[in-house]
Amino acid sequence: TQVSVPGNTNSVPSDQGGSNEADGVREDDIEQPSSPSVKKSEEKGIITVHEVKCKLYVKTTDPADKDAWKDKGMGQLSIKCKEGVSKGTKESKPTIVIRNDVGKVLLNALLYPGIKTNMQKNAVVAIFHTTADGDNNDAVVARTFLMRTKTQEDRDKLAAVIQEYAPAG
C-alpha cells in the first residue's frame, strides 16, 4: 500500500514489516484510545442519589470586589452517599461533588446537619465547607455557592435532595 504525503514527491510504503492482514488483525480491530471524556468511576459502597448538570458560582469574600459571584464553570453535580446506611445520618456521609467536563473537581463537600438552601430563579444557594482555593494549608472555610440549573424543576429537585440526605441535627 502506498501513502502519499503532501509536499513529498516520494511515496512511502505504509507497512514496512509485512501486512497485519496476514496476522488476522485488521486495523479496524485495533483498539483505539478512548476520547478524553470522563468515565464515571463507581466507588465501592457509594451510591449516587442525584445527578444534574449545573453552573457553579462562589461568592467572593473580598469586599473590594464589585462582582460578588465568581463563575467556577459548568459541571455535573452528583450527590453521593454510603450504600446500605439510612439516609439523613452522619454515617451515610452525604457528599456533593461537581466535576467539569474534563473531570476537574469544582466542588467537593459534605452535606451537614441544618444546611440551609436558598432558592433563586433556577438556582440553589447553600454554604459548604471546602478547602480554600490555592491555599496549601488545607484550611477548611465556609463559603457560599450558587448552583444554577437549567429549569426550576431541576432546582426544586436538587434542593429537596440536599435537604432529604443532609444528616439530621
pLDDT band at 98 (very low <50, low <70, confident <90, very high): very high
Phi, psi of 2 (to 5 degrees): -110, 135
- Predicted TM-score (pTM) of this structure: 0.70
* CATH assignment of the domain containing 53: 2.30.29.30
- Number of compact structural domains in the chain: 1
111 within a domain of the structure (yes/no): yes
Q: Which domain holds residue 67?
A: 46-165
Residue 130 has what pLDDT? 87
Report the b/e string of 117-127 with b at 16+ CB within 10 A.
Answer: beeeebbbbbb
> How do residues 39-59 score in pLDDT, each as one tens digit?
555 678 899 999 999 999 999
113 within a domain of the structure (yes/no): yes
- Compute CA distances 72 → 104, 105, 106, 128, whole Å: 11, 10, 7, 15
> Coil, strand, or helix at residue 78?
strand
131 within a domain of the structure (yes/no): yes
